[in-house]
Chain A
Amino acid sequence: MDQGIGAARMMKGRANMAKSTASKIQAEDVSVFYGEKQALFNVSLDIENYAVTSLIGPSGCGKSTFLRCFNRMNDVIPHCRVTGSIRIDGIDLNSAEVDPVLLRARVGMVFQKANPFPKTIYENVAYGPRIHGLAANKDEMDFIVEDSLKKAGLWAEVKDRLQDQGTGLSGGQQQRLCIARAIAVGPDVLLMDEPCSALDPIATAVVEELIDQLKERFTILIVTHSMQQAARVSKRTAYFHLGELVEYGDTKTIFTNPANQQTEAYISGKIG
């Protein structure tokens, strides 16, 4: 199978190969178990390249569990077991030759609560590139920091105070700093787990506008509890319920004429 841009970067000792495909990620028959308890049941779906895909559903439906499969974050949870396959540009993430650390550089993640390191704004962004050896000298690192902060829409607000503490920024700025930090190591997939749930409406609008711009460069998966956010930012939407994928399709169709009655009840705020 063809391997896309950066596919080799998550594999040990492989050179880069360039290719872009309409379907960036293929999840096939994915199940997740926490010990004996099965949290996700045989989920299969394709994720489109350079587009935003929303994962929605009530708490406990498995959407965050599914999201964590894409950068093997479930590996760090004791007794968690993942079956089935997830391929990014044709590479099975669970194969022995995939290095989880390199995978997480390529598949960046932004969490519900902004979690900047207790370091300067500059160091928050430079930390990842430094440990991955992405900059040969200070000029290169300066470029990465500036470029990442620009892509995260934060440069204009912080360029004169890069040595201030990242934790001193506002909530919305901290979240964009975390996005800059994820971008700095050159991912091509971004996972966002309720990235705006702790933000006010203005900061949310800024981050959503940023997501809209980032989709030109990245494949984005976002878990959100906000129906309207899913409707606003994503091209495709997947609805999960009790660990099963109930419906997956164009966001416009999901929000105007869903095929499944469970989906309809959920997005309409009806008793399910």
Chain B
Amino acid sequence: MHNDHISSSFNEDMAELNQYLAELGRLAQSQYAASIDGIATQNVPALRALIDKDPALDALEAQIHTKAFEVIAMRAPAATDLRRVLVSLKLATSLERIGDFAKNIAARTIRISEMGNERIPGVNIGRMAELVNSLVLDALVLIDTPDSQKAVKIWSRDVEVDHLYGTFNQEVLASMSRNTDMVPTGSHLLFIAKNIERVGDYATAIAEQIYFLVEGVMLDDERPKADREITIHKA
């Protein structure tokens, strides 16, 4: 497969687009990793620093959009080039949203820290958070080195996140039912868990886009889901 265009400036445009994407990916993952660290450490200054970094992700997303529009207008990309540009737009949105969820996790963790540890339900969110982190890291590898088979693997692992999310929800709800003092912090934890689950969804969306980039068709099978029938556990 020939990767270099005859036009060197076309190569430069695509390289610039890839560079922005790599930078946004690295930043989104580090924001997410910092947010889940923050749940454990409740290091408020670090969480505030994380929130302050979010505009940088927004700016990178805007740069990717601008560059993609320029490439479409100026280069009239075709085939894989066209898919790469279109996928870049979607990847940028997915990565920026991961950053948004990290910011929301940080903001809610700050609220929880202000309520006191004795009011936090004794539940473990770490396993789900780490699983999602590994999905995000794998998705970033895909952006750098597109591979449709690896994309399918990531895509199918989201069901594990859904299972953990369902279990976590039930545990928090049970804890809140047993002790109403846990309701304020428990509510924030439910939202944090939802944010983490959504980060997993976006890692999956990245895998879907990479599959489309490589194969030229969308994954047509419905992804296995386990979060459609989450029931409220009555203690």
**Which residues of A approach B to under 8 Å, CB–CB?**
227-228, 231, 255-258, 261, 264-265, 267-272
Answer whether residue B58 sits at the interface, using C-beta atoms and an 8 A cutoff. no
Given the interface contacts A256-B83, A256-B216, A257-B216, does A272 sit within 8 Å of B78 by beta carbon?
no
Q: Is the CB of B2 within 8 A of A270?
A: yes
Tell me, rounded to whole Å, the shortest Cβ–Cβ distance linking A265 to chain B.
4
Tell me, rounded to whole Å, the shortest Cβ–Cβ distance linking A182 to chain B.
30
Q: Is the CB of B78 within 8 A of A256?
A: yes
| Contact among B79, B216, B217 for A268, CB-based, below 8 A | B79
Nearest first, the 7 closest Cβ-Cβ pairs linking A and B are A257-B216, A270-B2, A265-B2, A267-B78, A264-B79, A255-B78, A269-B5
Q: List 26 A-B residue pairs with CB atoms under 8 Å apart, sorted by A's residue number.
A: A227-B76, A227-B78, A255-B78, A255-B82, A256-B78, A256-B83, A257-B79, A257-B83, A258-B79, A261-B1, A264-B2, A265-B2, A267-B79, A268-B2, A268-B5, A268-B77, A268-B78, A268-B80, A268-B81, A270-B2, A270-B4, A270-B5, A270-B6, A271-B2, A271-B5, A271-B6
Chain A contacts for B10, CB-based, 8 A: 269
**CB interface residues, B 62-87, toward A, < 8 Å:** 76-83
Interface centre among B4, B78, B81 (most CB of A within 10 A): B78
Counting residue pairs across A and B whose Cβ atoms lie within 8 Å, the total is 48
Answer whether residue B7 sits at the interface, using C-beta atoms and an 8 A cutoff. yes
> What secondary structure prevails in chain B residues at the interface with A?
loop
**CB interface residues, B 1-32, toward A, < 8 Å:** 1-7, 10
- A257-B79, A271-B5 known, 18 other contacts, Cβ within 8 Å: A227-B76, A255-B78, A255-B79, A255-B82, A256-B79, A256-B83, A256-B216, A257-B83, A261-B2, A264-B80, A265-B2, A268-B2, A268-B79, A269-B5, A269-B10, A270-B2, A270-B6, A271-B6
| Contact among B2, B80, B81 for A272, CB-based, below 8 A | B2
Interface centre among B1, B80, B81, B82 (most CB of A within 10 A): B80
Chain A contacts for B80, CB-based, 8 A: 264, 268
On chain B, which size bracket covers the interface?
A: 10 to 19
Cα of A19 to Cα of B11 in the assembled complex, Å: 51
Q: Is the CB of A257 within 8 A of B217?
A: yes
Q: Is the CB of A271 within 8 A of B79?
A: no
Chain B contacts for A270, CB-based, 8 A: 2-6
Chain B contacts for A231, CB-based, 8 A: 78
**CB interface residues, B 183-202, toward A, < 8 Å:** none
Chain A contacts for B77, CB-based, 8 A: 268
Chain A contacts for B4, CB-based, 8 A: 270-271
Chain A contacts for B78, CB-based, 8 A: 227, 231, 255-256, 267-268
Interface centre among A227, A255, A272 (most CB of B within 10 A): A255
Cα of A256 to Cα of B4 in the assembled complex, Å: 18
